[in-house]
Amino acid sequence: MPAEHEHDPTLDPAHASFALAPATRTGGVLTTGAYQVHRDFLDFLVDGRPLLHQLSDLDAVSPLASDVPPAIFTDQVRGLLLDAEAPLPGGRYVIYGCPECESLACGAVTAVIERDGDDVVWRDFAWQTDESADLDLNGYHGIGPFRFHGDQYRAELERLLPSAAPARRRVLLIGARVAVLARLAAALRTIGIGADTAEDTAAVPPEELRAYGAVAFGRGVGEERRTAVKEAFARAGADVAYVDGLAPIVPLLVAQIEHALDRSPLERRRLVRLAAAGGEATVEVTSTCRVQLVAYRLDRLRRTRAHELFDGLLEPGRHRIPLDARAVKGRSFLVARTMGGVLVAPTMAPASRESPSR
């Protein structure tokens, strides 16, 4: 467990430490033939220990699940921050719910979350199946109350919120391969990124240019066209990120554009560095998180090949991951992903091979 998540109660007996850590509810096929859904989520660490582990034999997930739509995920975070009204009577919030349907009728662990001066308190934990909680019958009498320092509590949860600045999740795609642009635009739209294609920006009004957060150039776009596009955005006063497509591989281009559109502060990012050299990848993270590393390349017939190289939890710091020579032969690229972050790096590059987070 990372040192910053640990807490010695003898040093501050009045407060518990609060942190978040990735957790998994493993999916599979049950003996009855029914399917059990796989869920990745963030668990609550209280004094360095997962709170879920204190609830024996409980099959549940927190509201901070990776497959929750972004708007709902943000609402859940704001609820825990007490920036929104409690969803249940008596100031109660769902701490863990059913991993299959998340319905209160299936049962949920709830607790009162409240401010007490500068502190945040979690108390009166209970198993709840309807609008009211019976603490005498279904209370977790051996758990809590927990008193957290408000600054630490808010800082940990606010890392999960999108940047306060209005996000311009829209990209202009400029390239020579119409089919690739069409597939790329479709892939971006499925993850909530608006995408338009164009040959140039000559006839695009300035106010429309200012709506874009990024411009992606295909490798076939010449320097003259690139310069003209950049000058048009400069005249419009648009602050955009420019992406040079590494290869006509849609998942790779999606990752490049996602990274370009990420305007979150550096100090709030978990995944901060990806490099490839000497037959290994170097990945750096700032907090414990699950990281997936995939290699992409084009084969001799120009078909996309993808190889998953790593998928697991990483502790804070730099980590070296061996690269399968068969997966990265020729001109290939790495994509590293974690919840809320993505980085891209070529495995063969003429200059620096590092792809630091901006």
Distances (CA, A) of 4 to 13, 47, 151: 17, 10, 14
Instruction: pLDDT band for 182, please (50, 70, 90 cuts).
Output: confident
The pLDDT assigned to 120 comes to 97
Q: What is the pLDDT of residue 66?
A: 74
Q: Which residue has the tokens 């999606």?
A: 254
Alpha carbon distance 295, 292 (integer Å) = 10
Q: What pLDDT was estimated at residue 306?
A: 92
pLDDT confidence of 357, banded at 50, 70, 90?
low
pTM above 0.85, yes or no: no
Amino acid at 245: G
The domains spanning 166-263 and 266-358 adopt the same CATH topology:
no
DSSP characters for 203-237?
Answer: T--HHHHTT-SEEEE-TT--HHHHHHHHHHHHHTT
Question: Quick one: average pLDDT of 157-165?
Answer: 70
Beta strands in 26-107 (DSSP E): 28-29, 35-36, 39-46, 49-50, 92-96
* Full DSSP string of 91-127: GEEEEEB-TTT--GGG-EEEEEEEEETTEEEEEEEEE
Does pLDDT of 166 surpass 50? no
pLDDT in tens, 85-126: 999 999 999 999 988 877 788 899 999 999 999 999 999 999
- Can you give the residue ranges of every domain in the chain? 3-158, 166-263, 266-358
- pLDDT at res. 2: 34
pLDDT at 289 over 70: yes
Tens of pLDDT, residues 2-22: 333 344 444 567 899 999 888
The overall average pLDDT reported for the chain is: 85
Q: What is the mean pLDDT of residues 296-323?
A: 91
**pLDDT tens across 20-45, in order?**
888 888 777 666 777 777 787 889 99
What is the predicted pLDDT for the residue at 350?
A: 37
Domain 166-263 fold: Rossmann fold (3.40.50)
The CATH number of 266-358, from 1.10.287, 1.10.760, 2.40.30, 2.60.40, is 2.60.40
- Tell me what pLDDT residue 308 has: 92
For residue 3, CA distances in Å to 18, 46, 271 come to 12, 13, 19
